[in-house]
Structure 1
């Protein structure tokens, strides 16, 4: 008999899958990396384009996908659009998602590298 995971687990898996899918492009990963490197102040759209080598509608498209996944956002400041990465706790949660339950089902005495320890 198959059991379904609790709804919160389903939601978490769906959310994480959406976020990982958004990073499934070298250009989007580069955009997110540039935003993380810039820190919480973000970057003006033009500067982000210069740093990533992506501009215009292509950059807008990638930012839209990252924003839909909760990994980036844009804020208008005067005449500029400032692009920011997600809060670092969201990025940390995304990277930690794969490791949170590392080795939970492995035989006792094995670490995450698959090595046996006495």
Structure 2
């Protein structure tokens, strides 16, 4: 049986990122930004697409920004929000699937995730 040390940096970083994503509203905000691509969305458009507005949106953007998943940039009179951590999001999913079935008696091929 393969044992993974739960104090490794991978699991610490993953736990921190998962904590930032631990809200339906934050997931909705991040999903809207990922769908918009690198050009991002204005705060107003992000609110319209995600269904999260006002101080609630500000709160969730702060948490996502602290996790390094999104960024905000003032452009003229607008604030543009964008997802910036595509590689980190991919690494997070890889973290979950990297050791797929490592402790199983069944070969990995029977559990194709990929």
Q: Matches of 2:38 and 2:110 in 1, distance apart?
A: 33
TM-score w.r.t. the length of structure 2 is 0.83
1:70-105 alpha-carbon deviations (Å, 9 max, x no partner): 111111112111101123111111111100111223
Q: Matches of 2:71 and 2:35 in 1, distance apart?
A: 15
More displaced stretch, 63-72 vs 35-44? 63-72
TM-score w.r.t. the length of structure 1 is 0.81
Residue 37 of structure 1 corresponds to which residue in structure 2? Answer: 35
Q: Give the ranges of 4+ consecutive aligned residues of structure 1 lying more than 6 Å apart after TM superposition.
A: none
Q: Structure 2 regions of 5+ residues with no counterpart?
A: none
Matched-pair contact (CA < 8 Å) for 1:103–1:112: no
More displaced stretch, 31-40 vs 45-54? 45-54
Aligned residue pairs, count:
109
Matches for 1:48-67 after TM superposition, within 5 Å: 48-67=46-65
